[in-house]
Amino acid sequence: MNMTKKTLLLTALLFAAGSTTAWAAAPNDPLISNQSYLQQIHAYEAWDIAKSNTDIIIAVVDTGVDLEHPDLKDNLVPGANLVQPGKPPMDDKGHGTNVAGVLAAAADNDKGIAGLLWNAKIMPIKALESDGTGDEEKLGEGIRYAVDHGAKIVVLSLGLNKYSSYMSTIVDYAEERGVLLVAAVGNEGNAVRYPAAYPTVLAVGGVGKDNKAEPLSNSGPEIDIVAPWDVFTTAMRGTYTEKNGTSLAAPQVAAVSALLWSIHPDWKPYQIRNAIRQSAEDLGAPGWDPVTGFGLLRADRALSLEYKDDLFEPNDTSQSAKPLSINSVVDASFAGAEDIDWFVVDAPYDGVLRVQLTGEEAGLKGRLVYYADPVSNGVSYPDGLESGIDIPVTKGKSYLKLQSQGAPKGQGIYHLKTNFSMNPDVYEDNDRQYKAYVLPDRSQVVVGTFHAYQDVDWFAMTIDQPGTLKLKLSVDTARIDPVLLIQRKGGKEIIIDERSDGETETSMPIDVTPGTYYFRVSNITDYAYPVVGEYMLDIDFSTRYEDPNEPNDKPYQASLMELGTGYQGVLDTDSDVDWFKFKIDAESLVHFRLTDIPADRIISIGVTDASLAAQQTERVETTPTSTQLEAKLAAGTYYVKLTANRSFDTQLYTLTVDAEPLVAGFTDIGGHWAEEAITKLTGRQIVNGFAPYRFGPDRTLTRAEAVAMFVRAFGLKGGQATYSDVPNTHWAKDAIAAATRMGIVSGYEDGKFRPDSPLSRMELTAMLAHALGFTPRNGPAPYTDIDDSYWGSGILRTMKAEGWVQGFEDGRFLPGSPATRAQLAALLARTG
């Protein structure tokens, strides 16, 4: 169909089966046991009250009806064929026949099945093609034909996703003439289709045999009622079949409406809608909800319950506020001047809620107070409610308080109409290319709306480097048929449009060069009405980088590196190899750090010397995006070779090489005041590091470390010493035993040695004095922070006199301060 001429695809909404037991009002139709949905809606009880309505005409605007079906032909009146004017409205699809059977297959005629209406006047109007599709002009023409030719109810088991001002006018035309429209919501698990979504149309969803909402039954703020999804009904050529879908739920509601009119012929359409709603069996959350509406159709209750002008009472307080759809027309009443009606609405987005209150009788007016929450200060709208007021609302629940104003005694039936519209998105005003919202040149997701008539959104991105661009446009409602346009400034337009409501539009990867690119997001052009919903524009931009170090594919082309500087590059083909070289002037611990590796790539690092002989490296750390290696290398020139398991050019890796010169195999003693001593002792294998390539000269010395160094320095061996905290597995057990035997060290009074405790300056001095064989001397204390009674005073006098220790410039020794590894190394180096 030509979508550019204001036509839309109207998809007929299809259905399936049932069973029953004996009832007083049960007809004798032989296949009625297959119609289980009759029990779900309590049709048998309803038939005890009313079975037929031949006083009104019910139009079925669909694919036509099988005019010769034995279970239908007696209930048919002349209709119209709008697809092939002049021909009878014979069904060539079967869908209309399915609908008509649920509505009014002749009952108690000892044939086939029983329609909800045993006897009726059904007007078949063929407005859909044989494939079940059509356009809105034919649909509108069908409704108008039905209204103009005496129909009181029009059944519409079809739908489209787009709002149409033309169709809205047709719906109003029917309402103004007292005609009730009943429509299926659709079967896509999405938004309610039009015409069901128009406020005055009774919108019907579907439930399964367990009375739970069918997942594929459309839902939303427009739904009124649900009815069984599975039916057994009439089919083409005089047959019967199982069907399922909201198409077969809608005629059930239409039939019960006709039964209501048989009892209350003077009722208006709003009263029929009100009776259907208030008699429904609540299925979901209490009151109306957007999945099951007011609940399950109950034919028995619709015909027997006492009619209420206000189905929402009691709702006189915020605590008793009743759920109200954001897109509907509902009917209620003021019981008096003091009557207050509270409602709660649930907005799906930030936006504007338009509220209009009109009285059934002239002169009724109302005042409204809006509350963001029940305990907040309300915003009063004392005037204008009869013509409509716009209330800014935020996403979530908020409250409306209504009260009569100006009517005699404050009484009267009112009609409350709500309509929700979304706020403009944050990118507005960007409806023209020259107003395009400028986006950064990176991957991102843009979330926008179509908040106004013919709203389109333009975006611009200025790209500085070559790369690849891929766009995906998705929506959260079938009411949007997204269209994506991509254009390089001054270049050819690329339009991506699958012409399918609610479907995602995806571009192929596009190679882009530096320049400005425009993206236009729109709803299908001819039907760009405001939509409650969002689109998501997912922009995937990958920069394509060039390697600044090329050519460096061979060792003789290797890029010369400065230590400590990061070098970036890419491996843009599967055979690409990147070579780098660097030089160290002394033996060093060399660190190789490769970062910014693409998450789905593996880059291998090889290190060779000048003869290209591989050097052994040790892996220090590996993450999905980085690798660190280190190697102990002698002075000389070295090469680094990078290869990848798969090429990439959309991200730059970074290679950094650092070198720490080694002194005596350590990186942390060069330039230290104890460098010479540590080097000397390392050569004699008296001291070693606490970690690979680390001596830790300024680390606090433990008692076990000190003992081990003493034992090695003085060549001590043998001995037995048992301490409760030195197990046989302790690394310094033998050294502690040897030092104890020689009297260099001893334990504490509690029998412990405390090998891992810090060694103090006094303890270190005492150990050295014992190892050298010095004895304590008498005399005055040698340092200001030592008195004569201190246990180490004599040792300090001896060691100071012999020139082994000295205090600080202020005259103190600080005997309790921890000794360091460098201090011990310096003392042991003097022992020769």
Phi-psi region of 254 (alpha: psi -120 to 50; beta: other; left: phi over 0): alpha
14-304: CATH class? alpha beta
pLDDT in tens, 88-137: 999 999 999 999 999 999 999 999 999 999 999 999 999 999 888 888 89
From the list 29, 52, 62, 760, the catalytic residue is 62
Q: What are the structure tokens assigned to 831, written together? A: 């022992």
Q: Which of 57-61, 411-415, 611-615 has the lowest mean pLDDT?
A: 411-415
Enumerate residues 6+ apart whose C-beta is below 8 A from 784: 810, 811, 812
For 540-562, b/e burial (b = at least 16 CB within 10 A) is: ebbbbbebebeebeeeeebbebe
Residue 45: band (very low, low, confident or very high) from pLDDT cuts 50, 70, 90 = very high
Amino acid sitting at position 123: M
The whole-angstrom separation of Cα 815 and Cα 811 is 12
pLDDT in tens, 738-771: 999 999 999 999 999 999 999 999 999 999 999 9
Q: What's the whole-number mean pLDDT along residues 3-13? A: 36
Q: Which of 358-362, 487-491, 775-779 has the lowest mean pLDDT?
A: 358-362
Residue 6: band (very low, low, confident or very high) from pLDDT cuts 50, 70, 90 = very low
Would you state the pLDDT for residue 408? Answer: 54
Q: Give the number of other CB atoms < 10 A from CB of residue 739.
A: 26
Q: Respond yes or no: is residue 672 known to be catalytic.
A: no
Residue 602: band (very low, low, confident or very high) from pLDDT cuts 50, 70, 90 = very high
Cα 632 to its chain centre, rounded Å, is 50
pLDDT in tens, 320-335: 999 999 999 999 999 8
Would you state the pLDDT for residue 526? Answer: 61
Beta carbons of 42 and 300 less than 8 angstroms apart: yes
Distance of CA 722 to CAs 281, 709, 737, Å?
87, 20, 8
Domain 555-661 has CATH 2.60.120.380: yes
Would you state the pLDDT for residue 200? Answer: 96
Amino acid sitting at position 695: F
pLDDT in tens, 633-686: 999 999 999 999 999 998 899 999 999 999 999 999 999 999 999 999 999 999
Cα 232 to its chain centre, rounded Å, is 40
Distance of CA 196 to CAs 255, 362, 457, 523, Å?
17, 29, 29, 21
* Pure H helices in 603-752: 675-683, 703-714, 733-741
Sign of CA dihedral 217, 526, 517, 494: positive
Q: Is the peptide bond before 195 cis (omega within 30 degrees of 0)?
A: yes
The whole-angstrom separation of Cα 186 and Cα 245 is 8
Residue 436: band (very low, low, confident or very high) from pLDDT cuts 50, 70, 90 = very high
For 586-620, b/e burial (b = at least 16 CB within 10 A) is: ebbbbbbbbeebbeebebebbbbeeeeeeeebeee
Q: What are the structure tokens assigned to 650, written together? A: 């959309």
The whole-angstrom separation of Cα 643 and Cα 646 is 9
From the list 52, 247, 325, 328, the catalytic residue is 247
Would you state the pLDDT for residue 525? Answer: 60
CATH level 3 topology of 318-422: Jelly Rolls (2.60.120)
Q: What's the whole-number mean pLDDT along residues 219-245? A: 97
The pair phi, psi for residue 435, each rounded to 5°, is: -100, 15
Enumerate residues 6+ apart whose C-beta is below 8 A from 101: 69, 71, 72, 113, 115, 233, 234, 235, 240
The whole-angstrom separation of Cα 33 and Cα 113 is 9
Residue 38: band (very low, low, confident or very high) from pLDDT cuts 50, 70, 90 = very high
Q: Respond yes or no: is residue 92 known to be catalytic.
A: no
Q: What are the structure tokens assigned to 35, written together? A: 């119609």
Would you state the pLDDT for residue 2? Answer: 31
Three-state DSSP state, 95: helix
Would you state the pLDDT for residue 236? Answer: 96
Q: Respond yes or no: is residue 247 known to be catalytic.
A: yes
Q: What's the whole-number mean pLDDT along residues 552-564? A: 97
pLDDT in tens, 151-203: 999 999 999 999 999 999 999 999 999 999 999 999 999 999 999 999 999 99
Residue 3: band (very low, low, confident or very high) from pLDDT cuts 50, 70, 90 = very low
Enumerate residues 6+ apart whose C-beta is below 8 A from 762: 792, 795, 796, 813, 815, 816
Amino acid sitting at position 250: A
Question: In sequence order, what DSSP letters do the residues of 239-280 get, joined into one string?
Answer: EEEEEESTTTTHHHHHHHHHHHHHH-TT--HHHHHHHHHHTS
Tokens 């301490």, residue?
723
Q: Assess whether the region 318-422 and the region 433-543 belong to the same CATH fold.
A: yes
Three-state DSSP state, 103: helix
Q: What's the whole-number mean pLDDT along residues 255-262? A: 98
From the list 42, 69, 95, 770, the catalytic residue is 95
Whether 458 has a pLDDT exceeding 70, the answer reads yes
| H, E, C per residue of 130-172 | CCCCCCHHHHHHHHHHHHHCCEEEEEECCCECCCCHHHHHHHH
Closest CA to 771 of 716, 704, 826: 716
pLDDT in tens, 723-734: 999 998 999 999
The whole-angstrom separation of Cα 70 and Cα 786 is 123
pTM of the model: 0.73
pLDDT in tens, 376-428: 899 999 888 999 999 999 999 999 999 988 655 557 899 999 999 999 999 99
Question: Considering the chain, what percentage of its residues have pLDDT values greater than 90?
Answer: 85
Cα 333 to its chain centre, rounded Å, is 42
Would you state the pLDDT for residue 368? Answer: 93
The whole-angstrom separation of Cα 759 and Cα 537 is 67
For Cα atoms 764, 767, 768, give the angle at the middle one, nearest 5 degrees.
85
How many residues belong to the chain?
Answer: 832
Q: What are the structure tokens assigned to 31, written together? A: 């296949």
Would you state the pLDDT for residue 773? Answer: 92
Distance of CA 671 to CAs 661, 675, 679, 693, 697, Å?
11, 6, 12, 16, 11
Query: In the sheet that 482-488 helps form, which strands lie side by side, from edge to edge?
Result: 437-439, 456-463, 515-523, 482-488, 493-496
Which uninterrupted H or E stretch holds 763?
A: helix 761-772
The whole-angstrom separation of Cα 111 and Cα 32 is 9
Distance of CA 713 to CAs 462, 680, 707, Å?
72, 11, 10
Domain 433-543 has CATH 2.60.120.380: yes
Sorted by where each begins, the domain ranges of the chain are 14-304, 318-422, 433-543, 555-661, 675-830
